[in-house]
């Protein structure tokens, strides 16, 4: 088991780049206005989707501010559904009154970690660390999951992560499930990692932390290609299990078809 709490001084964060804008040429006075082509409509739709993605952070912080408190803590986990590797829970505490315009601009892309590429998650990771008041990370290994069960292990990890960042006057948010008594006001938010800035920030921390762990595990346990699938059930991962058997990182309590022909 690993639990880490980091309290960081507030520092300025460089602002996000503004999207480039272009001018739209008007129709020729000597010709009738033509209908936009399918290509231009498709491009317009792509730009609108891109603009919405770039404004997700503003929407998520609006949800947190509407809670009416200064301190908002959010928790989320990564690796709950994987065949191998740890379950990693993270919690992030934001001081909404202390966040500067520059910091909020740097978090414009903040969203559920699953909605981002590896590159964007890695870009957001240090920004969350700099702008959060506290960050807590809790890890539960495969043997712990096998012994206690996935759901109990998950709730306990989320609870411990929140306890690592909570402070008087805060509200504690979790993604989907109430996690038990944390000594502070608590709320489970459905689709929380796409709704709350604090939960989304926690999802970034949990996902990047776990992915980095699985990349190191790939070097220690070659053959299963953990760096590629980070422990999740892919055709390549299942084929490796059939060929090599299981590693010390695999969860034996999972009723996976990948295990059916193995003498476990």
In which order are the strands placed within the sheet that holds 134-140?
2-7, 134-140, 87-95, 71-78, 170-175, 185-189
Specify the pLDDT at position 23: 44
CA distance 162 to 144: 20
Specify the pLDDT at position 113: 82
Q: Within the chain, where are the H helices? A: 38-54, 56-65, 101-106, 118-131, 142-148, 150-163, 197-220, 226-229, 235-244
Q: In 10 A of CB 142, how many CB atoms? A: 24
- Tell me the per-residue pLDDT of 118-172, one tens digit each, with 9 for 90 and over: 899 999 999 999 999 999 999 999 999 999 999 999 999 999 999 999 999 999 9
How many residues does this entry show for the chain? 264
| SS3 of the chain: helix, strand, coil, percent, to 5 | 45, 15, 40
CA distance 188 to 202: 14
What is the separation, in whole angstroms, between the first and last Cα of the chain? 24
Specify the pLDDT at position 5: 54
Q: What is the mean pLDDT of each run of 10 residues along the chain (264 residues)?
A: 49 39 44 49 56 74 97 96 96 97 93 85 96 98 94 96 97 93 95 95 97 95 94 93 93 72 55
Contact 252, 147 (CB under 8 A): no
CA distance 242 to 213: 23
- What does the domain layout of the chain look like in residue ranges? 57-219
Which residues, including other chains, have CB under 8 Å from residue 89's CB and lie 6 or more apart? 75, 76, 77, 137, 138, 139, 140, 154, 157, 158, 160, 161, 206
Contact 94, 133 (CB under 8 A): yes
Indicate the pTM of the whole model.
Answer: 0.78
Which superfamily is assigned to 57-219 in CATH? Ribonuclease H-like superfamily/Ribonuclease H (3.30.420.10)
């Amino acid at each position: 088991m690993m639990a880490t709490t980091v309290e960081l001084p507030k520092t300025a964060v460089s602002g996000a780049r503004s999207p480039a804008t272009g001018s739209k040429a008007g129709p020729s006075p000597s010709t009738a206005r033509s209908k936009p082509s399918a290509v231009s409509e498709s491009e317009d739709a792509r730009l609108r989707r891109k603009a919405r993605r770039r404004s997700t952070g503003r929407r998520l912080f609006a949800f947190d501010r509407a809670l009416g408190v200064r301190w908002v803590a959010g928790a989320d986990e990564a690796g709950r559904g994987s065949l191998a590797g740890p379950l990693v829970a993270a919690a992030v505490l934001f001081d909404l009154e202390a966040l500067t315009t520059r910091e909020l601009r740097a978090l414009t892309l903040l969203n559920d970690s699953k909605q981002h590429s590896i590159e964007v998650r890695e870009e957001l990771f240090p920004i969350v660390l700099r702008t959060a008041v506290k960050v807590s990370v809790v890890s539960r290994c495969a043997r712990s999951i096998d012994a206690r069960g996935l759901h109990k292990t998950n709730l306990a990890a989320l609870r411990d992560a929140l306890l690592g960042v909570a402070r008087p006057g805060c509200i504690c948010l979790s993604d989907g499930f109430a996690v038990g008594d944390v000594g502070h006001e608590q709320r489970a938010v459905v689709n929380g990692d796409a709704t709350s800035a604090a939960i989304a920030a926690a999802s970034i921390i949990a996902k990047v932390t776990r992915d980095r762990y699985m990349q190191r595990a790939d070097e220690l346990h070659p053959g299963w290609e953990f760096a590629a699938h980070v422990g999740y059930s892919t055709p390549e991962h299942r084929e490796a299990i059939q060929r090599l058997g299981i590693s010390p990182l695999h969860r034996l309590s999972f009723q996976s078809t990948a295990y059916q022909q193995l003498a476990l």
